A and B are shown apart, each in its own frame.
Chain A
Amino acid sequence: MELVNALVAITNYVIIPATAYGAQLALGALGVTLIYSILRFSNFAHGDTMAFGTGVVILVTWGFQSLGISFGPLPTALLALPFGILATAALMLGTDKVVYQYYRKVRAAPVVMVMVSVGVMFVMNALTRFLIGVDQINFDDGARFVINARQWREMTGLAEPLTLRSTQVITVVTAIITVAILFWFLNRTRTGKSMRAFSDNEDLALLSGIDPNKVVAVTWIITGALATIAGTLYGLDKSFKAFTYFQLLLPIFASAIVGGIGNPVGAIAGGFVISFSEVGLTYAWKKVATYLIPNWEPDGLVQLLSTDYKYAVSFTILILVLIFKPTGLFKGKIV
């Protein structure tokens, strides 16, 4: 019984939250990794792209709510998601036209592209703040729980509570659908394959008659969509705050690099490596320990690391990967 309770506690406090968070990171890392494979630079504006997309989704959600439109038990934000994706994709294409296109033409060094993305980051940061401000916003509505603590107790009779929030289920389901569509697109469609070809060998792709402008445009559209979905899911699951999204850059970059930058499967695996390490190391294991070790009451929280240092987890994993396996767990493109 104690063992079951311990497992329930682990599921409730580690596995479920880390799975949802991992799915969000994976979607973010996919965006970073796509830009990296096609445009060949680390996009520092990605966090702010996520914030912008989420900002649009929130505005449209409010619009729907004021019109009395809802999505039943699901959050209205899911209805607003397509509008956010459209707006973000349009912004991405516009940014490419006005900013990035020129640097591709002059074949600028990757580090210059990174610097350019910092400029874009400032602008997007301002746009998001104009759009929605800097405050923390909760925008999830609909049913809050799939399983709440009371239902769980009635179902199982266990002492240890378990809750499954609907946003966690929505995150995972949406992420699975998104990733399935993305992989179908990359592996089965002509345009998707031409993107992979472009990423593999740019010169040969040009020689084969693949239009680089089309590849780049499609990449930005997909990145905008991924960023908006990732940002919206994160915001539904936790809350929206522009600055938090900027800070997500670190775990997202870490996920992409840990998995092997430029490798989509790696990005997903990396997202879960980071999320499980982060949640596992910052979780207070006291409860689990008391279940598992009889007659022992730990003094402290048995927390390896304070949650304030959660970014240190991403960073440490990132550094370890850079030292021991710079190409990442799955073979990435370039060191």
Chain B
Amino acid sequence: MSYLNASEMTGGYGKADILHSCTLTVERGQIAVIVGPNGAGKSTAMKAVFGMLPLRAGRVTLDGEDITTLSPQDRVKKGMGFVPQVNNVFPTMSVEENLEMGAFIRDDDFRTTMEQVFDLFPILKEKRRQNAGELSGGQRQQVAVGRALMTKPKLLMLDEPTAGVSPIVMDELFDRIIEVARTGISILMVEQNARQALEIADKGYVLVQGANKYTDTGQALLADPEVRRTFLGG
């Protein structure tokens, strides 16, 4: 049984379904990447896993426990961390305060977690007193990831973490994400930069129109000529 098991998810916001029997699983400490063309329902699938989309069918389990009916807030308490694509920091609060707000639901001492985040993202320690809104795009993404890590999640979900950052910053972010996974945290991530993302992925999902089209290891997908031709541009 996988750590995260979201199976046969079907649902949408209005009458029309966006997801059609979509299945996503992530093993402990592994990186799973969702790629696909625009409008394929990648972000929607991620939101469904996090409880932000009403499902008509399918179920979501985390570590064997059924969490299908839980609210996003309760899923955070169960060990999920979510980094939205945009508006993912508190702009007029300092970096440190952002991390502190990430730990809001924790009653214990979170200083060691904050130190771990600072170890992972040293630049944040340097800018801990600066407002998050004044940072560069890449640094802001680091704050966003750091904020989500503050609850010590078992599963971290990232919605296009590299959107709008330069290629160098993107590589660095991916390195950090691998580091996070090495600490035993499972990662589920939606990415536009499919090729680079699949390179670091243990598992890749290609979604088309809200349904699973191809599912395999990242390397296998990169090697598949069909996938290369249709989704990776040759």
Chain A interfacial positions (CB closer than 8 Å to B): 190, 193-194, 196-197, 200-201, 203-210
Contact = CB atoms under 8 A, between A and B. Distances in A.
B84 A203 contact: yes
Contacts of B72: 206-207
6 contacts: A193-B101, A197-B93, A197-B104, A204-B87, A208-B105, A209-B151
A196 B131 CA distance: 12
A209 B106 CA distance: 9
A203 B73 CA distance: 11
B152 interface: no
Contacts, number: 56
A209 B90 contact: no
Contact of A210 (B77, B82, B104): B104
B102 to A, nearest CB: 6
Interface of B: 72-73, 76-77, 82, 84, 87-93, 97, 100-102, 104-105, 147, 151
Most chain B CB within 10 A, of A196, A204, A206, is at A204
Contacts of A200: 90-93
A130 B230 CA distance: 75
Given A193-B101, A194-B101, A204 B89 contact: yes
A333 B30 CA distance: 40
Contacts of B100: 190, 193
A210 B101 CA distance: 8
B84 to A, nearest CB: 7
Given A194-B104, A203-B87, A209 B93 contact: no
Contacts of B147: 204, 208
A193 B76 contact: no
Contacts of A196: 90, 92-93, 97
A36 B213 CA distance: 47
A335 to B, nearest CB: 16
A207 B90 contact: no
A237 B104 CA distance: 43
A203 B52 CA distance: 12
A208 B104 CA distance: 6
Nearest to A203: B87
Q: Which 7 A-B residue pairs are closest in the complex by CB-CB distance?
A: A209-B105, A200-B90, A197-B101, A208-B104, A197-B90, A209-B104, A208-B101
Contacts of A193: 93, 97, 100-101
Most chain A CB within 10 A, of B82, B92, B100, is at B92
A330 to B, nearest CB: 11
Contacts of A208: 76, 101-102, 104-105, 147
B34 to A, nearest CB: 20
B50 to A, nearest CB: 9
